[in-house]
Amino acid sequence: VPPIDGSNKAGVFNFINMKDAVLIDGYVKAENVKKAVIIGGGLIGMSAADALTKLGIEVDIIELKGHILNTILDEAAGKIAAQTVTSYGVKLNTGRTVSKVLGLHKVAGVELDNGHQIESQMLVIAIGVIPRTELFKAAGLEVNRGVVVNDNMRTSNPDVYACGDACESFDFIYNSRRVTPIWPNAYIGGRIAGYNMAGMDTTYHGGTVMNSLNYFGMDIATAGMSVLPPDASGLEVLSTLTANGYKKLVLNAEGKIVGMLTLGETDTAGIIFGLMRDRSDVRPIKDNILNENFGLAYLSADSREEHLHGNTSGRVAPADFKH
């Protein structure tokens, strides 16, 4: 819990795991909660807001950055997402944070850093998590943001392997080792680690951050650099507004897709991510790739064959391993 005055009051919750969800649900029922404030407009905060709104609770989201879902949506997509979220009655307070929790023994409201007060019976803190690395550090393993592993999922100790949300493995988009806390990467990394621990020399060829989400009836799919990094030199952005949302691709100088963002229309997200995993040069089809009728017919015969066999959809397949 961040240092907020009054955060020890009843009605203040984290939102990290199932236990937190059960506690929140119990408090909502016991206290007949009608108004809630959520700190954080990211992936976790939006999940909490969606769930509470479905219970008929009035929700205020407090987000420090300029728009919601700012780690995966650019400003244009963020505006579209905000319009959808507010249409459900959710109030967005961007560029703000909570400085104080109001109430005697339990939550009665919050005060923002600009002095504005919001009435509330519950405060949910949903500002994300970071890897717990205490055990790795105590064991003398190399740790950066997470425990560092090589392409065999081996740590700096040759007898210790790691995978999942707390490790830094190869990200093929950024061409560096990064924490990629999503289930497919943990699953594939676990298999790679298992093969190597069993004596089968097996290489992990990398993953990247992917998201397939639905908040407030809004479909979102993102992968890689869906938000441009500070140094975007050499990158080309393709984007378009669609009848139901927004699409965006980021290409590098070699014509390879390094970022994908689809909002509202996600039917082609699997094909596009497959092109990302294949490191395909999409310059020959870039004028068509954002069209609403884009599909497998635009790909080469070899690429169509791979997609039809599901080899580039993020699932584990024999092509993902070399041993």
What element of type H or E holds 212?
strand 210-215
Q: Which of 72-81, 170-179, 294-303 has the lowest mean pLDDT?
A: 294-303
Task: State residue 129's pLDDT score.
Answer: 80
The answer to whether domain 12-125 and domain 211-308 are alike in fold is no
β-strands 167-171, 147-148 pairing: parallel
For the chain, the average pLDDT equals 90
Helix (H, G, I), strand (E, B) or coil at 17: coil
Helices (H), 9-114: 18-31, 43-54, 75-86
The full set of domain ranges for the chain reads: 12-125, 134-207, 211-308
Looking at residue 219, what DSSP letter applies? E
CATH class of 211-308: alpha beta
Task: State residue 322's pLDDT score.
Answer: 42
Q: What is the mean pLDDT of residues 110-124?
A: 97
Task: State residue 266's pLDDT score.
Answer: 84
Task: State residue 274's pLDDT score.
Answer: 87
pLDDT at 298 over 70: no
**Residue 232: which residues within 8 A CB-CB, separation 6 or more?**
none
Angle between helices 301-308 and 269-278 (to 10 degrees): 110
CATH class of 134-207: alpha beta
- pLDDT tens for each residue of 244-275: 889 999 999 999 999 999 999 888 888 888 88
**8 A C-beta contact, residue 12 and residue 38:** no
CATH architecture of 12-125: 3-Layer(bba) Sandwich (3.50)
pLDDT at 87 over 50: yes
